[in-house]
Amino acid sequence: MKKEHVEQIQKAIKAIEERQIDNIFFVACGGSMASLSTGEYFISKDTAVPAFVYTSNEFIHRSPSALGENSLVILRSHSGETPETVEASSFARKKGALTIAISMEVESPLCQNAEYILHYNYKDGSDAIDGELGIFYTLLFRILKLITDNEKYKRAEKQLENLGSLIEKNQEKFKKAADQFGRKNKREKLIYTMASGVYYHQAYSFTSCLLMEMLWINSNAIHAGEFFHGPFEVTDYDVPFLLVVGEGPSTPLDLRALDFAEKFSDKVEVVDIRELDYDGIDPDLKEYFGSALSGSVLRLYADGLAEHTGHPLSVRRYMWKMDY
- Under the rule (CB under 8 A), what is the footprint of a copy of itself? 23, 29-31, 33, 41, 44-50, 52, 55-58, 61-66, 68, 82, 84, 190, 196-197, 207-209, 212-214, 216-221, 223, 225-226, 228-235, 249-250, 252-253, 256, 260, 264, 316-319, 324
Strand order in the sheet with 23-28: 51-55, 23-28, 71-76, 98-103, 116-119
Q: Which is nearer to a copy of itself, 28 or 129 (CB)?
A: 28
Beta bridge partners of 74: 26, 100
Nearest-approach distance from CB 71 to a copy of itself, in angstroms: 10
Helix, strand or coil, per DSSP, at residue 107: coil
Q: Which is nearer to a copy of itself, 1 or 102 (CB)?
A: 102
Nearest-approach distance from CB 58 to a copy of itself, in angstroms: 5
Q: Which is nearer to a copy of itself, 134 or 248 (CB)?
A: 248
Nearest-approach distance from CB 291 to a copy of itself, in angstroms: 13
Nearest-approach distance from CB 125 to a copy of itself, in angstroms: 27
The DSSP code for 246 is P
Nearest-approach distance from CB 259 to a copy of itself, in angstroms: 8
Nearest-approach distance from CB 143 to a copy of itself, in angstroms: 14
Q: Which is nearer to a copy of itself, 50 or 164 (CB)?
A: 50
Q: Which is nearer to a copy of itself, 84 or 275 (CB)?
A: 84
Whole-number Å distance between alpha carbons of 8 and 74: 14
Backbone angles phi, psi at 171, to 5 degrees: -65, -40
- Residues near 257 by beta carbon (within 8 Å), at least 6 away in sequence: 194, 196, 224, 227, 228, 232, 243
Nearest-approach distance from CB 12 to a copy of itself, in angstroms: 23
Cα end-to-end span (Å), the chain:
38
178 close to 172: Cβ distance less than 8 angstroms: no
Beta strands in 108-148 (DSSP E): 116-119
Q: Which is nearer to a copy of itself, 203 or 292 (CB)?
A: 203
Whole-number Å distance between alpha carbons of 99 and 36: 14
Q: Which is nearer to a copy of itself, 44 or 171 (CB)?
A: 44
Pairing assessment for the beta strands 71-76 and 98-103 based on DSSP bridges: parallel
Listing DSSP states for 287-313 in one string gives: HHHHHHHHHHHHHHHHHHHHHHHT--T
**Residues composing the chain:** 324
Torsion of CA 211, 217, 222, 224, to 10 degrees: -80
Whole-number Å distance between alpha carbons of 109 and 105: 9
Nearest-approach distance from CB 203 to a copy of itself, in angstroms: 12
Q: Which is nearer to a copy of itself, 176 or 316 (CB)?
A: 316
* Number of C-beta neighbours around residue 314 at 10 A: 7
Q: Which is nearer to a copy of itself, 6 or 234 (CB)?
A: 234
Nearest-approach distance from CB 169 to a copy of itself, in angstroms: 28
